[in-house]
Amino acid sequence: MLFLHGFPEFWYSWRHQIVEFNKDYWCIAVDMRGYGDSERPEEVSAYKIDLLVEDVRDLMRKLGRNKCILVSHDWGGLIASKF
């Protein structure tokens, strides 16, 4: 399961859900671009939806996964819907 947070949160907002879902699923919650400990590009153009979706695709490739269950909230929901 891959958890995508909303605005203005970061991975920690999923801490309670991860504890429960981790009993049956492999779980990861990320700090999306510009939040928490992630990179913070200054250019507004670096936050285009297509780029944020590509961040998720890149993560999946790096993890060696070709599919996942996406769990999302708020801003993360928009990114998940485009994934």
Q: Looking at beta carbons, which pairs linking 46-50 to residues 24 or more positions away fall under 8 Å?
A: 49/78, 49/79, 49/82, 50/82
- The tokens describing 65, both together, are 């996964």
| Per-residue confidence (pLDDT) for residue 58, from 0 to 100 | 98
Dist CA 83 CA 50 (whole Å): 9
> What mean pLDDT is predicted for residues 56-60?
97
Q: Give phi and psi for 30, each to the nearest 5.
A: -115, 160
Query: Has this prediction a pTM greater than 0.85?
Result: yes
Average pLDDT over all residues of the chain: 97
In the chain the domains, ranked by start, together with CATH numbers, are 2-82 (3.40.50.1820)
